[in-house]
Structure 1
Amino acid sequence: MSRPPVTKAGYERLRGELDRLKSEDRPRIIAAIAEARAHGDLKENAEYHAAREQQSFIEGRIGELEGALSNAEVIDVTKLSAGQRVVFGATVDLEDEDSGDAVTYQIVGDLEADIKKRLIAVSSPIARALIGKSAGESFEFTAPNGAKHYEIIGVRYV
């Protein structure tokens, strides 16, 4: 079984989330459950049920993060020397050949992917199309809304 890759920065972000869940969120929910219990009848106590549901979510996320982080292979992308070739951890500047729009993505592990932060999973269609290419090359991949054509403007490891 291979270990899922994660960037050093992504590992630290996920570790920070785990620490916050354990040190801040878990105690807060335990206190909210205790307070809701003090209100009496638990069958019709909406505050109690909401707090228990939130506790279940937090405990699930803690378990998920602990398992993922214990198995992850942490890669420091600043120490990679792939030059202008795209590999895991690369930050890639692209230009849409159809619209001329510029976009920047970093290829990261599945655990840390977040499209809002322009962090794309190494298993995503665009990342799979990028891997192995170099700055100056054009490529095509199939997105949910059809074929896209991009040119790689720059590759860096930060």
Structure 2
Amino acid sequence: MSKVPLTVRGAEMMRTELEELKRVKRPAVIQAIAEARAHGDLKENAEYHAAREQQGFIEGRIKELEAKLSNAQIIDPTAVNANGKVIFGCTVDLVDVESDEEMTYQLVGEDEADIKQGRISISSPIARALIGKEEGDIAAVQAPGGVREYEIAEVRYE
């Protein structure tokens, strides 16, 4: 399996979720299963079946997070000397050339992407068009409605 890029913040969020699942949610669902078993007949015990299903989800998510973290390549953009170029993990201020609309995006791994938070996946068309460009450059992005051009106003490594 190839290494998956992840920001320092993204890796920390995954570790926090993993700890929550292992230390809080897993013991709680084990307790719920034990209580449901104490009620007797398991065939018609909805509490037992719901707790077992929840346990399956929790164990699956734990395995998924552990796999992602073990295959992660954690990149800190502040530690990379990029000379003003757009790289993974940086924050980019853009201006739509046509409409003068301003937007800010951070280029992150696929698991961290959240457009509402301004974090876009490194594999998105916008991110691919921006990689390697510098402040003042124009990035042409192939969008469903045609080619959109964005001017790079600022590149920050936070």
2:104 aligned partner, one-letter code: T
Q: Which moved more, 1:20-29 or 1:106-115?
A: 106-115
* Equivalent residue, structure 1, for 2:8: 8
Q: Contact 2:77–2:87 at 8 Å: present in 1 too?
A: no
Q: Which moved more, 1:50-59 or 1:106-115?
A: 106-115
| CA distance in structure 2 between the aligned counterparts of 1:132 and 1:114, rounded to whole angstroms | 22
Q: CA deviation at 1:152?
A: 1.2
Q: Contact 1:140–1:149 at 8 Å: present in 2 too?
A: yes
Q: Residue 65 of structure 2: SS of its match in structure 1?
A: helix
Q: CA RMSD in A?
A: 1.8
Q: Contact 2:105–2:120 at 8 Å: present in 1 too?
A: yes
| CA distance in structure 1 between the aligned counterparts of 2:33 and 2:140, rounded to whole angstroms | 52
Q: Which moved more, 1:13-22 or 1:116-125?
A: 116-125
* Equivalent residue, structure 2, for 1:125: 125
* Equivalent residue, structure 1, for 2:105: 105
Q: CA deviation at 1:106?
A: 0.9
The 3 A distance-change label for structure 1 pair 52 and 155 is same
Q: Contact 1:85–1:155 at 8 Å: present in 2 too?
A: yes
* Equivalent residue, structure 1, for 2:64: 64
Q: CA deviation at 1:39?
A: 2.6
Q: Which moved more, 1:71-80 or 1:96-105?
A: 96-105
Aligned residues: percent identity? 61
Listed as ranges, the matches of 1:22-37 within 5 Å are 22-37=22-37
| CA distance in structure 2 between the aligned counterparts of 1:84 and 1:112, rounded to whole angstroms | 23
Question: Deviation per CA, 1:47-94, whole angstroms, max 9, x where unpaired?
Answer: 222222221111111101111111211112111221321011111111
Residue ranges of structure 2 left out of the alignment (5+ in a row): none
| CA distance in structure 2 between the aligned counterparts of 1:125 and 1:94, rounded to whole angstroms | 14
Task: Write out the 4+ residue segments of structure 1 that deviate beyond 6 Å after TM superposition.
Answer: none
| CA distance in structure 1 between the aligned counterparts of 2:44 and 2:108, rounded to whole angstroms | 45
1:19 aligned partner, one-letter code: E
The 3 A distance-change label for structure 1 pair 30 and 133 is same
